Amino acid sequence: MLKENLENVRKEISASVGKAGRKGTDVTLIAVSKTKSADMIKEVYDQGVRDFGENRVQEIIEKYPLLPDDIRWHLIGHLQTNKVKYIIDKVAMIHSVDSLKLAEEISRQAQKKNVTMDILIEVNVAAEESKFGVSCDDAIELAEKISTLPGIRLRGYMTVAPFVTDPEENRAVFARLRQLLVDTEAKNIDNVTMDCLSMGMSGDYTVAIEEGATFIRVGTKIFGGR
Ligand SMILES: *Cc1c(COP(=O)(O)O)cnc(C)c1O
């Protein structure tokens, strides 16, 4: 079942990439495996997926030793400052940086472990009260501040778009995040090349790809409901 689900997702990705005139290699599928077992993750891994997303530090710590070490783990959920030290040498990218304080702690821990951590700034594009992330208005200023921190490579922006039944409803949200990336690049911040957009989930990744997503985070459509 997981294999078929994945095949369907991959077909849809190809179709959207083609429609947008982009290359398949421009979009990385992150299989969001939160609440799912190591066995299920291994099944998807065996189909060639190497990028997996988790939203809780505890789950990454538990699953990490059970699975192959060429998996790239992506932390996509809210991260508390005091937990950075547990995952700093385990994850490939932190998608959910929403404050200077958190970025400073990532910088500190990265230097301690002699690693450079790729991060994205989480932006609450639709300004939903229930969601984490900085506003579009504050994003560039935060990017400028983070750019000076050692041990961190700021790569772009991430957003969790509103829950919708028709993906078209989120097209403007995705376009806004892409424009924010363009505007930030135009500032020519020293030492920063921002080329990543993490946007699109099970319900709307096709539209996100059309609007420039470089990472899509797909859980339910691969692993089933939670
Ligand atoms: C759970 C989660 C996803 C995946 O959601 P699905 O709708 O199951 O595809 C993507 N991004 C974040 C931040 C999540 O927490």
pLDDT average, residue stretch 167-181: 98
Give distance in angstroms: CA of 129 to centre of ligand 1.
Answer: 18
User: Does the pLDDT value for residue 191 go beyond 90?
Assistant: no
Residue 217 C-alpha to ligand 1 middle, in angstroms? Answer: 6
Q: Does an H or E element contain 97, and which?
A: strand 91-97
Question: Ligand 1 center to residue 182 CA distance, Å?
Answer: 25
**Residue to substitute in 32, 73, 198 for testing ligand 1 pocket (most ligand atoms within 8 angstroms of CB):** 32
For the CA of 218, the closest atom of ligand 1 is 9
Calpha distance 223→198 (Å, rounded): 19
Which amino acid residue places its CA nearest to atom 5 of ligand 1? Answer: 219
Residue 17's pLDDT band (cuts 50, 70, 90):
very high
Within 6 A (CB) of ligand 1 lie 32, 34, 55, 76-77, 160, 201-203, 217-221
Task: Please name each of the domains of the chain with its CATH number.
Answer: 2-223 (3.20.20.10)
- Asked if residues 28 and 215 have their Cβ atoms less than 8 Å apart, the reply is yes
Using alpha carbons, select from 135, 170, 161, 139 the residue that is nearest to residue 217: 161
pLDDT tens profile 33-63: 999 999 999 999 999 999 999 999 999 999 9
What is the H or E stretch that residue 30 is in? strand 28-32
